[in-house]
Structure 1
Amino acid sequence: MNLIVNQLFKHSNGNVIRVLYVNSISNVLYVINMEGNRWCYPMQSKDFIEAIQSKEWIEVPDTYIRAIPEEQLSEKEREKRDKAWEMVTAFLQELDNEELAFIGSHRKLAIDKVLRKYKISYNGFKALLLKYWRGGSAKNSLLPNYYKCGSSGKSRNLSGKKVGRPSTRGRDRGLNVDEKVKRQFKAALNKYYYNERNNSLKFTYEMVLKEYYTVESVQENGVTIPILAKAVPTYNQFLYWFKQLNDTKKEIIQRQGMRNYQQNHRAIIGTSTSEGWQFDSTQFDIYLVSSTNRNVIVGRPTLHMAVCAFTRMIMGFCISFESLNGYGGEMLALYNAMTSKKQFCKRYGIEIDDSEWAYGVPSKILTDQGALEGKRIEHAIEQLGIAIQQTPPYHADYKGIIEQAFEQLNVKIKPFADGVVIKGNQVKERGQKDYRLQATMTIDEFTKIVIKTVLFHNNHHVLKDYVLTEEMIELGVEKIPIKLWDYYVNHYKGSVRILPEGLIRINLLPTDTGTLTARGVSFKKMLYASPELLAAGHIVEARVNGSRKVKICYNPLDISEIYMYGEDGHLQKLMLLDHLVAYKGKGLDEVLALKEYEQDKDRKSQEKELQAKMKLYEELEAIVNVAREESAAERDPNLSKAQRIRGIKENQQAERMLQREILREPEVEEPEEWVDEFDEFAIFRGEMNE
């Protein structure tokens, strides 16, 4: 065991000593008692170490050293300290080496020289040296102990006479604030100040006077007016005791609410864990448009994201229109974080290597309350062997790492994007453009921007405030997430596991129910099929025996394909049918928004159709009525029913010949000028007609 200068040890009898000097050659150490007037004295290192090992002496924290900023010292304090420091320095300079200061004979010779030079008494200088050594041999240990003077924090014992400076206003205002007056102040604060009305201190003071210091009242115009007593507490007295009695935490909670206190005022000590991942979601401040019809504004997307707490690596994310704690968004973000992103990035036209964006399955995830909850996620977490740790309500600082990651994305993306939310929820000023109408990006384009930003963060962003360990400094680890990740996976074995993608998909992707029909598997009014499904005869079976429900899982970000659970427990991929190609590559939320838009247009068209249909019916009825009237007028009442239906076939043939004559091309009636100018042609046409 190595003893270190300035260590403090406490004996079993309560005595506390400080180690002043250790001579490793002679195995002697010099110590000083922290109480009393005794000079420092030697001890054998071996014996002292044995006493420590036997718990006779135990090391204790150092509570004797004063750490005071220079600017907080008064001029008098600095003057006294510097004078004492000058004398102690002169004493040490009289010694050939530091150890001689702890040997009585050598120490006395040096002290005598200091006493003659500075005209100070022996006991006075001894007190300075003891104070210097007990204070850790620091310059500020020689500061005068003014902080021990007076009765700070204690109330005076008041007599009947008013204390304090006499009033200069010629009136005996003010009184001594005793326990009774304090109780009045407390009662008024609880009644009028500590509540959601947010009454001012001035009002609270005035209510103290009204309730406790009115001696009589007079009637004026039918109104009772209280008269104040001659001696009342002043507002300055009330303000002074408010500062003494006030509980800041209680004030904020009672006046602004617990949530406001937790989010904006409570003490933050930096509790972000450095183990596992942090997971959270936020609604990004940008409006997007549909990729099928850019006239359709589909709202603000939700960003779910996972960050490695140790390396600050953004492990994966999901951009969707799921709710903040929506199962689909959470699962897709975790799926993205736990699997290779090569195919994910390729879908957006970005080629990467796995070394640029890490992945794996963590052992622990820290998240807030409400996220990653429910039976479905519990099953997934259990199957993948992940522990979920949740923060208390309104404790965003517990997840400070991911909160900072959100901020980094906002800072880099918002200056370049359109449709960005301006001024949050504030009322739009007159003439100000509606930022929602400025939206230009689809969810795919926005996702591409986020991918680019995440790749920059993971591979190039320098974490200036990251604290490296000694080993990391020796190995030359750079403060870049991807470099920290390389160190992490090589030195913290078992923290991240690589599992088969199929296993992760089965456990994480959201599940739902589809319908196996004669046209394929129907899900959200879309149809899916595969060669395997046809070969197995399921389509024919559905046509013969009717539809049946099947369990499927899907990726809400791309509904081009879904996965149907087979009877053997394996997943079977089904593709969107060709005639629904317009929805290929689209997310479920986007497709549902498009379908709603189409249905809205259909409803409007149907309203127009219905109006036109009313006109049609009216016209049809008019024609029928005319036919009825003319038939009734021309009908021969002398004809029997048998006569009317006799010869229908012959009547039809005669009508056919008549219609043929009518349908012949009619003659074109030419203007007279044409006939006069081209008489030969007119004669020719006449001959032809004959």
Structure 2
Amino acid sequence: MNSNLSVNSVLKPVDESVSFQQPCRLLWMDEQVDLVALITIEKEPKKPWLLGLSTLRSLLSEQKAVIVQLKVPEFMMTLEDEIPAKYRNKRDANWERIRPIVQGSSPSRMFEPDTMGALVKQQAEAVGVEKKSLYRLLYRYWMFGSIRNALLPNYPNSGGKGVEKNYAPGKSPGRPPKVMSTTPRPRAKTLTKQDKIAIRIGYALYCKNEVKSKGDAYTRMLRKFYCESITTPDFPEQNITLKPLSELPNQTQFEYWGKKSFDDMTVLRGRKGERRWAKDHRPLKGRASDGLFGPGHRFEIDATVADIYLISRFNRNWIIGRPVVYVVVDVFSRMIVGLFVGLEGPSWNGARQALLNTFTDKVQFCADYGIQIRPEDWPCAHLPQELSCDRGEMLGLAAEAIVPSLGIDLVIAPPFRPDWKAVVESRFRILNQLTQIHWIPGGVAQRIKERGERDYREDATLTLREFTEIIIRTVLHYNHHTTHPDSLTPPMVAEGISSTGISIWNWGIDHGFATRVEQAPDLVKLQLLNKAAGTIQAGGIHFSGMLFTPEDDRYEKFFARARANGHQPIDVWHDPMKPAYIWIRDTDKSMLRCQWRSPGQYDEAARFEEILDMQQMINYVGPDQLHAELTSKVNLDARIQAIVDTATAEKREAPKPVSKAAQLANIRSNRAIERAAGTGSPQVSSDVRQQDRDVKPYIAEGYGERSAEVIDILSQLRRKGAK
């Protein structure tokens, strides 16, 4: 305890028997004469006084006094270059007034009461100031640690902070008016307690975002609290009359006292709302990677609509709109571990493709787009322990099924809180910068379009495949060259690890901070491939206008059964990246791959969405073609009706048949006569008809109900005889 005693030590009494009852600072100590000089630390300090050094040490050893730390005043906590010049000048002037006393006298003599008085009187006469001014400077210098900056002006405490001003009678707050007039504007009102309460209530309207501006809040306050009379519902509000101007707080007073009543962050929070406050303005605590064990602990997934318009690979004049980019990021290393570029809006169907890409090998994926990489160039092909995602994409039975099926824990962000997965959100900005997407033909212009300017959509140049290749190459560059210094830990720095995503990933894998999690490929396909409805037909499995056949001949009997009994429904799984194949579940529930029945029907490099677009565009009937088709149908219907009407009229004029039986009896013979007439033999036709006329009446009278059958038989015999 005693060893800590030194010049400038601050001592605090803890026992009533101590001779001093307020904190004091030790100014001087001498072992030989066994004395110390102390000065009391108080608002109006008194002259230093002497105490025995041994006595002071006894007080410390008996715990009747303790050494404490004195907080440095605010006006002394400043750097030399931060002190205004006028403050430095005043400090230096004060120092020159007391310097001969502090530095020119022996401390053993200076703190003697009679000696100090004589020294102060002599110096006061020399510099031309009163003795009490020098005493104040000396006491302040000693009380605050015997340093020059203790003599700086203590202006932060000036003005009575927190103390309301009391204006003398006849005095008004504020400056005099700038414009002199015969009818001058009244000076500002001296606010009462009720006025300040009214201002607080009115300013709260602005703070809570219930009005647009402070001026509107001021107007509301005047209407509520400063009207001569109130109105009833039977009378219009324009009859309200305000009190005289001299009785109203002005807007300057309203804003001044409103700001004093509400903290600026309270105002910001109220104006922005809780959602935007939590997302954009709240204080940040911790980092996204806090609490993570290593690579693969947590992945974040999100999607965004890319700022570029694309065209069809089948016809470069067809604009197909803006693609949707899905990105999966490892939070620990900041490396992009999976992606998907499609045409379907942010949803589970697109997210599952990004996850499928994340959990599978990237070498073949890049090779499909003409990019040759090694496995170590993108070494991410396993499942995470946690997956952070949005509600819109992952909240549902289909998405939640990956929890029990693949062993992944979902961390679904609340609504309107993208900051819960800030790592993946910020990757989109980085990718936009690396691809320079806004400057690619077809990119969405960031400026406001001027009248007469060319529409940027007309400049669309890239296909979905070409844009996907750009994104893949950008991701590879990002993983290998974009640095994240804040992600490095002390062990990484000690080993000289680069702060790129792939370096941090590999370091975590090599040091055992990640557990590789893998699942059977069939299980991953079952959970993440798009499921749809197909039909078993005689020619194969029909799906989205295409026919597929299994690579196993065992299913031929199903196709034969479908031809005999009709189409059969079947569940199919397909990968939009590889439309040439679909998968069905075999009898043992394993995934059986089926391929196109006609490989040359579509481009194998096309995407599933592109094939669907092509089908729609091929089947599209333009307005001119539709009008021509309808016109032809109308004309055809009119022609048919005209022919029917003419035939009906001719039949009406023909001789009536003898009976219904007679009319229906000779269909075959009539058919033979008509066929003979069609061969160009009118004589045969005439003879046959004449013989029928001679025989039919006789037969009809002799055979009764079976006369038609008899006539038919005789007609056949007659035709044979004629031949």
Query: Same-fold call, TM > 0.5?
Result: yes
Q: Distance in 2 between matches of 1:256 and 1:147?
A: 32
Residues 225 and 278 of structure 1: CA distance in aligned 2, closer, same or farther (over 3 Å):
closer
Verify: 1:181 aligned to 2:195, yes or no.
yes
User: How many pairs were matched up?
Assistant: 593
Query: Post-superposition shift, 1:542?
Result: 3.6
Q: Which runs of 5+ in 1 are unaligned?
A: 1-10, 18-33, 42-56, 94-103, 660-690
Query: Post-superposition shift, 1:76?
Result: 4.8
Q: Distance in 2 between matches of 1:653 and 1:254?
A: 99
Aligned to 1:518: 538
Q: Distance in 2 between matches of 1:380 and 1:190?
A: 49
- Paired letter, 2:453: Q
Query: Post-superposition shift, 1:378?
Result: 2.0
Residues 151 and 536 of structure 1: CA distance in aligned 2, closer, same or farther (over 3 Å):
farther
Verify: 1:202 aligned to 2:209, yes or no.
no
Aligned to 1:614: 634
1:389-428 deviation line (CA, Å, top 9, x unaligned)? 344444444433323321121123215522212248x6x5
Q: Which moved more, 1:645-654 or 1:585-594?
A: 645-654
Q: How does 1:426-437 map to 2 (within 5 A)?
A: 429-437=450-458
Query: Post-superposition shift, 1:644?
Result: 11
Q: Distance in 1 between matches of 2:401 and 2:407?
A: 10
Query: Post-superposition shift, 1:346?
Result: 0.9
Verify: 1:226 aligned to 2:248, yes or no.
no
Classify the secondary structure of the residue corresponding to 2:392: coil
Classify the secondary structure of the residue corresponding to 2:247: coil
Residues 501 and 178 of structure 1: CA distance in aligned 2, closer, same or farther (over 3 Å):
farther
Query: Post-superposition shift, 1:613?
Result: 2.0
Q: Distance in 1 between matches of 2:405 and 2:265?
A: 43
Q: How does 1:662-681 map to 2 (within 5 A)?
A: none
Q: Distance in 1 between matches of 2:615 and 2:451?
A: 34
Tell whether the 8 Å contact from 2:207 to 2:266 is kept in structure 1 after alignment: no
Verify: 1:422 aligned to 2:445, yes or no.
yes
Q: Distance in 1 between matches of 2:185 and 2:623?
A: 83
Classify the secondary structure of the residue corresponding to 1:441: coil
- Paired letter, 2:198: Q
Query: Post-superposition shift, 1:503?
Result: 3.9
- Paired letter, 2:252: N
Classify the secondary structure of the residue corresponding to 1:361: coil
Aligned to 2:712: none
Verify: 1:370 aligned to 2:392, yes or no.
yes
Tell whether the 8 Å contact from 1:172 to 1:231 is kept in structure 2 after alignment: no
Aligned to 1:411: 433
Residues 216 and 82 of structure 1: CA distance in aligned 2, closer, same or farther (over 3 Å):
same
Q: How does 1:287-366 map to 2 (within 5 A)?
A: 287-324=309-346, 326-359=347-380, 360-366=382-388
Query: Post-superposition shift, 1:354?
Result: 1.3
Aligned to 1:75: 85
Q: Distance in 2 between matches of 1:492 and 1:142?
A: 60
Q: Distance in 2 between matches of 1:587 and 1:364?
A: 30
Classify the secondary structure of the residue corresponding to 1:318: strand
Tell whether the 8 Å contact from 1:316 to 1:336 is kept in structure 2 after alignment: yes
Aligned to 1:506: 526
Residues 513 and 631 of structure 1: CA distance in aligned 2, closer, same or farther (over 3 Å):
closer
Tell whether the 8 Å contact from 2:438 to 2:445 is kept in structure 1 after alignment: no
Q: Which runs of 5+ in 2 are unaligned?
A: 1-11, 16-22, 24-39, 43-47, 54-65, 125-133, 231-236, 293-297, 683-723
Query: Post-superposition shift, 1:593?
Result: 2.8
Q: How does 1:527-546 map to 2 (within 5 A)?
A: 527-532=547-552, 534=554, 537-544=557-564, 546=566
Query: Post-superposition shift, 1:317?
Result: 0.6
Q: What value does the CA root-mean-square deviation take over the aligned residues?
A: 5.2
Tell whether the 8 Å contact from 1:420 to 1:435 is kept in structure 2 after alignment: yes
Query: Post-superposition shift, 1:197?
Result: 4.7
Query: Post-superposition shift, 1:327?
Result: 0.8
Q: How does 1:490-505 map to 2 (within 5 A)?
A: 490-505=510-525
Q: Which moved more, 1:180-189 or 1:383-392?
A: 383-392
Aligned to 2:493: 473
Query: Post-superposition shift, 1:160?
Result: 6.3
Tell whether the 8 Å contact from 1:526 to 1:580 is kept in structure 2 after alignment: no
Tell whether the 8 Å contact from 1:185 to 1:238 is kept in structure 2 after alignment: yes
Q: Distance in 2 between matches of 1:158 and 1:365?
A: 65
Tell whether the 8 Å contact from 2:602 to 2:611 is kept in structure 1 after alignment: no
Aligned to 1:5: none
Residues 538 and 449 of structure 1: CA distance in aligned 2, closer, same or farther (over 3 Å):
same
Classify the secondary structure of the residue corresponding to 2:494: helix
Aligned to 1:449: 470
Q: Distance in 1 between matches of 2:590 and 2:166?
A: 85
Q: Which moved more, 1:73-82 or 1:312-321?
A: 73-82
Residues 630 and 509 of structure 1: CA distance in aligned 2, closer, same or farther (over 3 Å):
closer
Query: Post-superposition shift, 1:166?
Result: 6.2
Classify the secondary structure of the residue corresponding to 2:258: helix
Residues 593 and 83 of structure 1: CA distance in aligned 2, closer, same or farther (over 3 Å):
farther
Residues 160 and 492 of structure 1: CA distance in aligned 2, closer, same or farther (over 3 Å):
farther
1:447-491 deviation line (CA, Å, top 9, x unaligned)? 01101111111123344x545333222322122222222212123
- Paired letter, 1:186: R
1:207-247 deviation line (CA, Å, top 9, x unaligned)? 44454445589xxxx98573642333222212211222245
Q: Distance in 1 between matches of 2:414 and 2:657?
A: 99
Residues 164 and 610 of structure 1: CA distance in aligned 2, closer, same or farther (over 3 Å):
closer
Q: Distance in 2 between matches of 1:526 and 1:644?
A: 52
Larger Rg computed on CA atoms: 2
Query: Post-superposition shift, 1:571?
Result: 0.9
Tell whether the 8 Å contact from 2:313 to 2:463 is kept in structure 1 after alignment: yes
- Paired letter, 1:330: A
Verify: 1:245 aligned to 2:261, yes or no.
yes
Tell whether the 8 Å contact from 1:528 to 1:577 is kept in structure 2 after alignment: yes
Query: Post-superposition shift, 1:615?
Result: 0.9
Q: Distance in 2 between matches of 1:401 and 1:334?
A: 17
Verify: 1:565 aligned to 2:578, yes or no.
no
Aligned to 2:27: none
Tell whether the 8 Å contact from 1:510 to 1:554 is kept in structure 2 after alignment: yes
Query: Post-superposition shift, 1:576?
Result: 2.3
Tell whether the 8 Å contact from 1:270 to 1:397 is kept in structure 2 after alignment: no
Provide TM-score, normalisation by structure 1: 0.70
Residues 242 and 373 of structure 1: CA distance in aligned 2, closer, same or farther (over 3 Å):
same
Aligned to 2:164: 155
Residues 67 and 571 of structure 1: CA distance in aligned 2, closer, same or farther (over 3 Å):
farther
Query: Post-superposition shift, 1:374?
Result: 1.9
Q: Distance in 1 between matches of 2:349 and 2:599?
A: 27
Provide TM-score, normalisation by structure 2: 0.67
Classify the secondary structure of the residue corresponding to 1:497: coil
Q: Distance in 2 between matches of 1:423 and 1:265?
A: 25
Query: Post-superposition shift, 1:520?
Result: 2.2
Tell whether the 8 Å contact from 1:173 to 1:233 is kept in structure 2 after alignment: no
